[in-house]
Amino acid sequence: MTTPVPVQPAPAPKRSASGLVFALGSYVLWGFLPVYFLLLQPTGAFEIVAYRILFSLAFCAVLLTVTRGWQRLFALVRQPRILLTMAVAGVLIYINWQVFVLAVTNNRVVEGALGYFINPVFTVLLGVVFLREKLRPAQWAAVGISAVAIVVIAVGYGTVPWIAVVLTLSFGLYGFIKKRVGGQVDAISGLTLETAWLTPVAVVQLLLVWSISGLTLTQHGPGHIILMVLVGVVTGLPLLFFAAAAARLPLFAIGLTQYLTPVLQFIFGVAFLGEAMSTTRWVGFVLVWVALIVLAIDLVRAARTGRRASRALV
More confident position, 311 or 265? 265
**pTM for this predicted structure:** 0.83
Answer whether 51's CB lies under 8 Å from 217's CB: yes
- Whether 270 shows a pLDDT value over 70: the answer reads yes
Mean pLDDT over 115-119 rounds to 85
- Whether 177 shows a pLDDT value over 70: the answer reads yes
**How does pLDDT run across 216-251, given as a tens digit for each residue?**
988 889 999 999 999 999 988 887 888 777 767 765
Distance CA 155, CA 133 (A): 32
- Whether 13 shows a pLDDT value over 90: the answer reads no
Residue 7 pLDDT level (bands cut at 50, 70, 90): very low
- Domain boundaries along the sequence of the chain: 13-313
What pLDDT is recorded for position 314? 55
Mean pLDDT over 173-193 rounds to 85
Which of 262, 242, 284, 267 minimizes the C-alpha distance to 119?
262
Distance CA 10, CA 20 (A): 14
What pLDDT is recorded for position 154? 83
Mean pLDDT over 165-170 rounds to 92
Distance CA 295, CA 293 (A): 5
197, 95, 65, 183: CA torsion to nearest 10: -90
The mean predicted confidence, pLDDT, of the chain is: 84
Distance CA 72, CA 1 (A): 29
**How does pLDDT run across 59-75, given as a tens digit for each residue?**
999 999 999 999 999 99
Asked if omega into 42 is within 30° of 0 (cis), the reply is yes
Distance CA 291, CA 145 (A): 6
What does the angle CA 67 – CA 223 – CA 34 come to, to the nearest 5 degrees? 75
What pLDDT is recorded for position 10? 44
| Distances from the Cα of 155 to the Cα of 150, 152, 213, angstroms | 9, 5, 37
**How does pLDDT run across 275-292, given as a tens digit for each residue?**
888 888 888 889 888 988
Q: Give a three-class secondary structure readout of 52-118.
A: HHHHHHHHHHHHHHHCCCHHHHHHHHCCHHHHHHHHHHHHHHHHHHHHHHHHHHCCCHHHHHHHHHH
**How does pLDDT run across 77-97, given as a tens digit for each residue?**
999 999 999 999 999 999 999
Mean pLDDT over 104-128 rounds to 85
What pLDDT is recorded for position 253? 67
More confident position, 25 or 202? 202
Mean pLDDT over 156-184 rounds to 85
| Distances from the Cα of 62 to the Cα of 59, 168, 293, angstroms | 5, 31, 40
